Structure 1
Amino acid sequence: MRRLCILGATGSIGTQTLDWVRSDARYSVSGLSAHQDIDGLIALGREFPDAALAAGDAAGVERVRDALGARRRILHGAQGLTELAEASDSDTVVAGIVGSPGLASTLAAVRCGKRVLLANKEALVMSGVLLLEAARESGAELIPIDSEHSALLQCLPAPCARSCIRGDTSDAGQWSQIARLWLTASGGPFWSRQDVDWAQVSVNEACAHPVWSMGRKISVDSATLVNKGLELIEASLLFSVPHSQVDVLVHPQGLVHALVEFADGSQIASLGAADMRIPIGYALAWPGRAERPVQRLDLASAPDLSFERIDARFAAVSLAREAMNSGQNAMIAYNAANEIAVDAFLQSKIKFDRIVPCIEDGLRRADPGTVRSIEDISQVQQQAISYAREWIA
């Protein structure tokens, strides 16, 4: 039986992970966290009475304790997340917290040698090889549950997939047959529109993703294609290939999730319905396959599949390549500036068309160099946040 700690249990990833738990006796829950949705955490606490809980702050803890009783184990804040991730009563941690707040707990779980289901791509973007080195040293299994990276993993030869999951791609012979990795993008809500007034895009318009049902932050990232820039960085790091060997195709139908191109010119693609339960189930059951029925893809009735190159309207992917060329500090700045800009947009403090220029400014101001600890990451991040807030003001 797998004992799961689900960080971000009331969010999209956490909710869909719990769908698996409820339908498969092979999974149990030992830990659950929620930042703001305390009512949701209380409900889950009642459903899973043996699970330790973590809330975003002390006020949340008091609400949970009032509802569930003083004897329930309830943690709070960043330290609480880390303790929950490290707890010995779980062997699998679902890293479902969006953005930089999920970094420390993800790294803690990896250092404990657990299986980590990585939905938080920002953790890898910010920490770079630090997370992968920790996986190699601890024996952790790092399995992505982004649909695209899960698809790449499934298309790779088995020895390559195993080496990625264990953070060790040092066997160059295994990888010599891989020529290119292809990520797909739906293009977001604005790809097919040529008449967009970018300064007038509303929050509701930016969050109206045409394929996936997601949270507001990642929906905005998909509208700017920053999400695809983050995924490009993640793929380059996770699969240990230069970013020049990772490319992006816009695929509006959202049925082909990724392709692997081999040295002989052949390609293997992963197709499936736009259902996050598929990559989550794959990561839970690896190296096997989940047996619970999910939505099936009927190719005979599927729409025609089309693929396009990203055009000049969307600069976020090329900025991600610039960040990788500049080094780890620039990758941290890319993510931090985006988080601040998206938050400002969601609060109607800036227009939609100012998000990517804020990132570009952050890259220009990022100091060269690398990071060797989570403290280094925090320092670089805080500097990038300061620059972004200054730019927005």
Structure 2
Amino acid sequence: MPLALVDVAIIGAGLSGLTCANILQRAGLQVVVIEKSRGYGGRAATKRIGTSATSSERADHGLRFLKRARNTAESRYSCEDALQAQLTDRLVKQGVLTSWPAQVQHFRKTGVTTVLKDGDPDVQLYVAPEGANSIGKALALNTNVWLDQRLVRMRGSGNFVDPWQLELESTIENSVYPQRLSARSVVFSCPPEQSAEILRRGANAASKSTLEALDGVKYDKCIAAMCAIADSDSLPRELASFQCASFESHPLLAWAQLESSKRRQKHAVLTVHSSAQFGEEHFDNIEALPAAGETLLQTALRHLGVTDTDASFKRVARDRLVAHRWKYAFVRKPYSGGSFLSDELDASLVFCGDWCRAASEADKPATLPSKSNVDAAHDTEHAGFALASGQDAANHVLCRLQQPKPSL
């Protein structure tokens, strides 16, 4: 196939990469997004859970919801909050998101508190009735995304004049995309560990300091478990009003949610995220993953007051339980040098994602200030950091691309 030439190649079609692509395309640049999986949105992900031989239900097993501060003009709200509000408003107008008047229970060592409730004066929650992956689909609309394509290696010095040479491989047969790509700038929005691995395969692709910065970022692993525990009209009494919960310093659990509280479904699907400790202990044992998932679900049910948890599982076949591994679930040690990273020797090589933080943000939990003390919904704050990082990376590229394009 002939060599494709673009202004910017973006590696990864998560929230950060798609945000960056949207801005660059609106500025008139030729952009291609390379995504190794078959879908958009990264951790804004949805699975289909089989409830019978012929039916299935949706379960959001990554990003639970988006938050919108009601007045982001106040000084206590950050750029990340404002961007999340802008995205929420845009997706509400498109019919992708709808408000979710949920109660979020927070299980603390000192007892259970409700940290978000219907009518909260500061914050409103939003969910996607068609599944969280519809957020990525909306962002990818009219964007040139090459799915099922993996960047193998890259070489050359971009300098915004001499293009980077990218070598791709398809993860499926009979791909229609070129296996070679030339780009004036490359933006990595995939996890830093993956970026560093790709760059080390190339010749002088990144400076030593850039690789050290990427190596310094650390993520916590997580296991997500999903299962239809009952028909929606025959929920255990203890779950009749349950919607969402988080667990503070629990050895097994991080959060749990009832999918049927977010969208109309015949079956009540419970989704649970593990703690980092449980994720680390069970991540590599793939054969035991279903058992780990069942442990998480039964533990969550007990915390929610369901006494006969085994009976809940007998309502559906255990083989319909689904467990998913997230290797890069939540940022434990971020990059503190700013909202994006550019190579010190070649500014056309850029990195963005929820792992990029300003120095003032890197040493404190990502929380949206509010009277509700919302410190349980850290996945939504990571979404805010991803959006801000993608925006700032795009602005950096636009600023630098005030040079002549290379001749073909």
**Larger strand proportion of the pair:** 2
**Larger helix proportion of the pair:** 1
Largest Rg, 1 or 2: 2
Pick the TM interval, shorter chain. Answer: under 0.3
Tell me the TM-score normalized by structure 2: 0.23
